[in-house]
Amino acid sequence: MAAKFLAYFVVVVALSSVAKSDPDLLQDICVANVSAGVKVNGFACKNDAAVTEADFFFSGLAKPAVINNTVGSVVTGANVMQIPGLNTLGVSLTRIDYLPGGLNPPHTHPRATETIFVLEGELDVGFITTANKLYSKSIKKGDVFVFPKGLVHFQKNNGHQPASVIAAFNSQLPGTQAIAATLFASTPAVPDNVLTKAFQISTREVDQIKSRLAPKKS
């Protein structure tokens, strides 16, 4: 009986570990020392004597962002890069603002599940599973929607007013891979013959897409 219980306990612990996104912390705080240049699945810890309240504070999500791009949305992060005190804590936030018709293009977060809470406006949202099934819903102010870790998802403001959400992640740095930019604007570039074959389009069409997604020169 004891052996069976021990085996069950080991399995539960193993499954719990797999379900977590970031590793557990081994101390009360480990404020990120980003300038140290040392990363071991996270950032090195700042000396405790140099830690202040400012390492745990960020006011950048208080107001809507200025949107001046072709997709009509802006993502403002509140992760370990903006709040060093989040290092090893396994959580972060973003604010996403959308113009009427604005889109947060299809993308993934390889290291985290995302939960959004609608502050203002209405959105059409969805994610696609590995079985190629789309789960989508229209959501409004006060609603919550979840995008499972690693799955392609999007948000679109099909309303006539601006919209905003707060997104929560179970990672200090969830990472983002925008599908279009990843494939058509990587460095070095994905070979044209890969893209033409995958999307069944011509080299000219590949070049047109790349020109639209290329970073704007300052």
Is 107 annotated to bind a ligand? Reply is yes
Structure tokens at 23: 């590793």
Structure tokens at 18: 């797999």
- The predicted pLDDT at position 185 comes to 95
What are the structural domain ranges in the chain? 53-175, 182-213
What is the DSSP pairing of strand 103-108 with strand 73-78?
Answer: unpaired
**Nearest Cα to Cα of residue 73 among 174, 175, 178, 218:** 178
Q: What is the mean pLDDT of residues 46-59?
A: 96
Structure tokens at 19: 């379900």
Q: What is the mean pLDDT of the chain?
A: 90
Is 109 annotated to bind a ligand? Reply is yes
Q: Which CATH architecture has domain 53-175?
A: Sandwich (2.60)
pLDDT confidence band for 36 (50 / 70 / 90): confident
Is 160 annotated to bind a ligand? Reply is no
Is 104 annotated to bind a ligand? Reply is yes
pLDDT digits (tens, 9 = 90+) for 5-25: 444 433 333 444 445 568 777
- The predicted pLDDT at position 218 comes to 53
Residues 6+ apart with CB under 8 A from 113: 21, 146, 147, 148, 149, 169, 170
> If you write DSSP's letter for every residue of 96-120 in order, what string do you get?
EEE-TT-EEEEEE-TT--EEEEEEE
